[in-house]
Amino acid sequence: MTTSPKILILGASGYIGGTVLVDLLKTHAPENITALVRDVAKAALLEPLKINIVKGSVEDVSLIQQLARFHDAVLNFAVPFAGGDGSIQALVDGLEARAASTGIKPVLLQTSGTGSIMYGSNGEAGTDVWKDSDHERWEALPDEAFFHSGDRIIARAAERGIISAYIVMSPTVYGQGTGPGNKLSLQIPAYVRYAKRTGQAAYIGKGENIWGNVHIQDLSDLYLLLLAYSLHAPDSTKATEGSHGWSNLIYAGLDQHTWGPVVTLIGDLLHARGEVIQAGASSLEDGKGDLYMFGTNSFMEVSEKAKALGWKQRGPSLIEAVKMALPVKAADQ
């Protein structure tokens, strides 16, 4: 692979994509990076970075396939909970066409999430532990699960081995993003907004449900490690025989939490700041909170495949990050 790979990014103005883009620019020249953006406002956010910008939609599969054919690596962060299979297949088709015409093995890193394995309800603790090495279990998961139909497209590409195709599956992502666009995650801000709107923080049901988590900077580190490995060791990136391609799924979580104590801390910190009426947190029935307030479980064992890449935690824990994001005002200390 060339020492100056051409990299295409979808979702570069988003929370994860923007953070990874900024980190990529520390070691890759901006003229070698292209971002697909859907409108002028998104383009304006990226222009100061001096990267190449193409305006278009992820629904324009012809454009996406053509762009993929001219890049050595694609990082796809523009992934909805459901749907989007057309653009994912277009990326695979374009990169496989590039491999056929150049003899070079391109890379595709596909963003996914553990929403595909959510189970349980009403904040009850789960005991079912998934592993990213449970290949038969991933194969059996129905395509109706969040993200999974798109993930299956990547797994099949990994099984063929024409391109280096990987799924990066994140749990709860937290911390301040460093990209030029969205800097906020989904779940923690949802609990903060609910508390400010209603006057008290709240979790779902018992609040004992378990989710995995990862700091945004640690997640970015994993993308860069996996990209570097795939570019420099292409012969070792084909999925393991008999895994249906799922050996190229990598879980991107380093820790886990239960929601009750986290949300109670949020309530206490907001109360100390004078932003809510009641300290602590109350309990809500499933479906009564805001979007991204979950009563389910969604966690896995830390990935041995990720650790083999040299991945380790650098960022603060979730609890530490919440305390940093909601410091008590000096007048209240």
If asked whether residues 104 and 153 sit together in one domain, one would say: yes
With bands split at pLDDT 50, 70 and 90, how would you rate the model's confidence at 286?
confident
Span 48-69, average pLDDT: 97
**Phi and psi of 201, rounded to 5°?**
-70, 160
Question: What pLDDT, in 10s, does the model give residues 136-188?
Answer: 999 999 999 999 999 999 999 999 999 999 999 999 999 999 999 999 999 99
Task: Check if the beta carbon of residue 225 is closer than 8 Å to that of residue 252.
Answer: no
If asked whether residues 99 and 191 sit together in one domain, one would say: no
Measured from the Cβ of residue 99, the count of other Cβ atoms closer than 10 Å reads 18
Query: The sheet that has 255-258: what strands, in order across it?
Result: 172-174, 210-215, 255-258
If asked whether residues 86 and 199 sit together in one domain, one would say: no
pLDDT at site 328: 67
**How many structural domains comprise the chain?**
2
pLDDT at site 260: 98
Tell me if 121 is assigned to some domain.
yes
**Domain enclosing residue 268, as ranges:** 186-211+256-296+313-325
Span 197-202, average pLDDT: 97
If asked whether residues 45 and 162 sit together in one domain, one would say: yes
If asked whether residues 272 and 286 sit together in one domain, one would say: yes
Tell me if 303 is assigned to some domain.
no
If asked whether residues 88 and 144 sit together in one domain, one would say: yes
Cα–Cα separations (whole angstroms), residue 79 to 10, 116, 207? 9, 13, 28
pLDDT at site 83: 77
Residues in a beta bridge with 7: 33, 73
Tell me if 72 is assigned to some domain.
yes
**Predicted structure pTM score:** 0.96
Tell me if 153 is assigned to some domain.
yes
Question: What pLDDT, in 10s, does the model give residues 8-45?
Answer: 999 999 999 999 999 999 999 999 999 999 999 999 99
